[in-house]
Structure 1
């Protein structure tokens, strides 16, 4: 569903000004949005996943380990598809606290695409460079939205997710490096326009929630604090938006209608988008490519 069509529907959670900010600037942040009753459950579920990671000695398709990870001191950068690893995450992602919020920017009929939990352990080595999301999982339109929930909050020292304001209305940049590797990173020579006055670093207390347009340029620095910075990142789209390629983060829940009704017709936005590698052969994580910045998408 295109923005002009979404705007024909009343909001559920956002004010009119907040929704307008999302479409005008490419993001909107809601301080302390998720209630404590949900945060407590998410923390408990995350603790169980962290405990499961103790048996891991190297990164796999689910657990991305941070430097120094061990059974005695489990350290995670990411958990892929947390909704498939613990039922609490799927309950949360399908609760109206999330689906009504998604509906405010994608339309009343909402489809789930994928999710990840970026734990980002303290004193970590990984941030992620400036990039855009939609080239990794292109759709028939640009309705997909990532809803980021800071489970424990985020300070400026914890590598907050940072957004280039208004960049969603600009071009889509290549996510390939000069050697043809798909690195989900905008080349430095394409970032001359990105000055500090355009960057918005999203911080806030527990439950602070960010809605991020799929075309927006964003990134983050490493977490230099001792405490982890868990950020839950489910992605939703309008029901009439369909993925063009297999997902790099597959899930049995991909395509589930989590609010409203399935679509009988597809929505198309004909602006071009670069295609990712053929994910049918498996996803090669970007951190497997050599790069001096130790960047992980």
Structure 2
């Protein structure tokens, strides 16, 4: 068995800060030579802040198609009893549905869309595969938030991603505004890694997908990060999207407005960064959360038709 060096220790007895040793925008001759969707200014912004918004990644008509598919999924009786459907703490309201690109032809076409795949390839400097896909649903009045965390901390500790060579895209299917629980990111927080304190419990995913506790920063660490980086609230209409580095510190508040909020969330990982065994967990998470199929996604010009 090949031994992989742990560059980013976490889940020990105390919090540990490690400087990032990986690029933010990865070099790659093939993808750099190809005509890409990012400008030099876009890449500079992403490198500096760790995230970048695209006002109209998909059309409003396409967003409507995806919203309808989300409604179908969350009301599918078979899926309601499937482990891929996660409900809110304390209720049977759907919070997330995972592996949507495997269970829905509509979302399968989306993850192959060149508008997504080509951007991911350029940022990661290689071919990419889908590490995770899900839809996040925050219904009006009672949609709960997602506490502050770095996705990479979890994917490294519990899924075995060795390097910071993954990128997420969150596509708004409804309006994301200042009141309905939009995404918050600390710009520049991707440049240091916060290793969290405390061991990973067995089968942690069964509770963490509903409310994360293991792998979250202390109050003291959060206060320091906010003092250093500040907080950016990311809003936009249906069809807008935010691309963000796997190590960005981010979270979102609850939605107590009547205005529902839903997003589709896709994680692209480099095929050169395939998952190994977890670095700080007793066992791998299931494949519907953390893929073990590292087949590259081939981009397609075909997009989802409007309803």
TM-score normalized by the length of structure 1: 0.75
Q: CA deviation at 1:135?
A: 2.1
Which of 149, 161, 164 is matched with 2:183 structurally?
A: 161
| Pairs within 5 Å for 1:213-252 | 213-245=245-277, 248=285, 250-251=287-288
Q: Detail structure 1 runs of 4+ shifted over 6 Å in the superposition.
A: 177-181
Counterpart CA distance in 2 for 1:222 and 1:236 is: 26
Q: Is the 8 A contact 1:6 1:105 kept in 2?
A: no
Q: Is the 8 A contact 1:154 1:203 kept in 2?
A: yes
Counterpart CA distance in 1 for 2:77 and 2:88 is: 11
Q: CA deviation at 1:175?
A: 6.3
> Which range is displaced more, 174-183 or 214-223?
174-183
Counterpart CA distance in 2 for 1:64 and 1:175 is: 26
Which of 203, 216, 225 is matched with 1:194 structurally?
A: 225
| Pairs within 5 Å for 1:19-30 | 19-30=43-54
Counterpart CA distance in 2 for 1:211 and 1:55 is: 28
> Which of the pair has the greater relative contact order for Cα pairs under 8 Å at 6+ separation?
2
Counterpart CA distance in 1 for 2:43 and 2:257 is: 33
Q: Is the 8 A contact 2:130 2:268 kept in 1?
A: yes
Q: What RMSD over aligned residues (CA atoms) do the two structures have, in Å?
A: 2.9
Q: Is the 8 A contact 1:136 1:248 kept in 2?
A: no
> Which range is displaced more, 126-135 or 45-54?
45-54
Partner of 2:167: 145
- Distance change >3 Å, CA 53–CA 167, structure 1 → 2: farther
Alignment pair present for 1:14 and 2:53? no
- Structure 1 unaligned runs (5+)? 261-297
> Which range is displaced more, 9-18 or 80-89?
9-18
Partner of 1:101: 119
Counterpart CA distance in 2 for 1:48 and 1:179 is: 34
Q: Deviations over 1:31-63 (max 9, x none)?
A: 12212343232122112112215984xx86222
Q: Is the 8 A contact 2:137 2:143 kept in 1?
A: no
Partner of 2:65: 41
- Distance change >3 Å, CA 178–CA 43, structure 1 → 2: closer
Counterpart CA distance in 1 for 2:266 and 2:125 is: 16
Counterpart CA distance in 2 for 1:53 and 1:219 is: 30
Q: CA deviation at 1:249?
A: 5.3
Counterpart CA distance in 2 for 1:178 and 1:99 is: 32
Q: Is the 8 A contact 2:37 2:118 kept in 1?
A: yes
TM-score normalized by the length of structure 2: 0.73
Query: Equivalent residue of 2:215, what SS?
Result: coil
- Structure 2 unaligned runs (5+)? 1-21, 205-212, 279-283, 300-307
Partner of 1:183: 214
Which of 120, 126, 141 is matched with 1:123 structurally?
A: 141
Aligned residues: 254
Q: Is the 8 A contact 1:66 1:124 kept in 2?
A: no
